[in-house]
Structure 1
């Protein structure tokens, strides 16, 4: 049986495993996958007549094998889902706890996710370091003279699917007398080409990272 969800070689392996379990009698059929009344009636009719009995037995064996194979595929898919959820949780933790600011934007430049380090870089704008950047445009976080350069870099990354790095100046907020903050942006396109990851570091964070490495 071919299943697009599972690799072909794994499907063949599961079929062989199902046949082996039926041969040795070591399997228990899952009640979720049961033959319909019509299918069982057809098998009974075939097995009741001498000239079709062998065909009935073959169909019965195929049905049993198919049922066991479905059970094994379900177990494999549940195992794959568990592994995927574990990996997702790990990557989510790495994202949230990274000392480098990370921002995810959609292809229209709207922020869809960010970690605490990124939110902290713009806390003076949001008065909140818990993710209030989500839903706003990435362009709004950099000064007007840096916006064309950022737009060009984002478009180039989408077009070439190659990472890009640039220096931009973050906005300081109205009435903020602090010196402008320069940020180093590393821009990457997601594998499915539906989102863009930006890693941000200011001079202070780069110095802290360098000190930690010493």
Structure 2
């Protein structure tokens, strides 16, 4: 594209006028060469400072990303389930372990009410009310339904987290699977019941044996006396007197 002659002439005239104005300025207003060098030096230093800050910023961002990744892994793959609930029991946040304990995808559980997974719903609602009333941790043991329909024994430990408004709060909950412990407790209880039943049977047998022993003595005496009397009568020498 060709330049227009009029524009080139105008630029040349503008430059000449600028040079004339610069020459007309007092010497004190004209930037000296050493000032230009100093200014250029400051600009170079400032540029290096910006580059150093940029490197530090990138390093800080990398460290923050690594810390976030570690925190996410600790949160998601912790050996217990972490839940954030509202005061009615609706799930706001949940880690992968908690979702795995319930056998449902995490995205399905977000916005889902835990109340629907509990056989004893009134007990859980009362528990949530108790958590919202106090500032301390509150624990409870109950059963919750797995996705396959089986009941899972769990322990919940919850704490109220306030948003500044007493009526507006959410609940942080730790869910621990205690199915093995509960199964062991039930096994021990069954064994204890069996032992108590055997002990009762043994006591009953010993009591029956003692009663039989006490009855056998007079019965044996009666049997012996009866046999002697029969023999005496059969001998033909009975004496009515």
Q: TM-score, normalised by structure 2?
A: 0.45
Higher helix share: 2
**CA radius of gyration, larger in:** 2
Using CA pairs under 8 Å that are at least 6 residues apart, name the structure with larger relative contact order, 1 or 2: 1
